[in-house]
């Protein structure tokens, strides 16, 4: 009886059309899975960037709060006159010569210097693997 089952199973092959459709379906599912994985990786990267920005802002707030607590308290209005700081002596160098009209227009047209920002790592600097 086993011989008859094994010969019957060997003779029953899957039809080519069915196999092709099944393979196409599997390939489509695989491509959809890969697209979903890429989407999740991108979302995770964006989440990490936002968490990094949030951590930087929290640190900045902490630094500002520390500066605020370290500042002297404001004086009361009836506490007396404020101390006067001594006037620094005049510099020994002569003042710069006055600019001509062309130099003033060049200085007015020149764009402002952008603020300096600390060195940042690449876009994927948070990844360690």
What value does the mean pLDDT take over residues 100-123? 60
Contact present, 52 and 126 (Cβ < 8 Å): yes
- pTM higher than 0.85 for the full model? no
Give the model confidence (pLDDT) of 17-53 as tens digits: 999 999 999 999 999 999 999 999 999 999 999 999 9
């Amino acid at each position: 009886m086993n011989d008859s089952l094994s010969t019957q199973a060997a003779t029953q092959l899957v039809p080519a059309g069915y196999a092709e459709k099944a393979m196409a379906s599997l390939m489509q599912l695989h491509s959809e899975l890969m697209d979903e994985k890429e989407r999740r990786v991108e979302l995770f990267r964006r989440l990490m960037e936002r968490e990094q920005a949030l951590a930087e802002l929290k640190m900045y707030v902490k630094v500002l709060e520390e500066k605020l607590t370290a500042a002297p308290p404001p004086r009361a209005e009836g506490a007396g006159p404020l101390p006067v700081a001594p006037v620094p002596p005049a510099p020994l160098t002569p003042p710069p010569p006055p600019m001509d009209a062309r130099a003033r227009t060049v200085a007015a047209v020149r764009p402002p210097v952008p603020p300096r920002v600390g060195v940042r790592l690449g876009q994927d600097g948070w990844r360690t693997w």
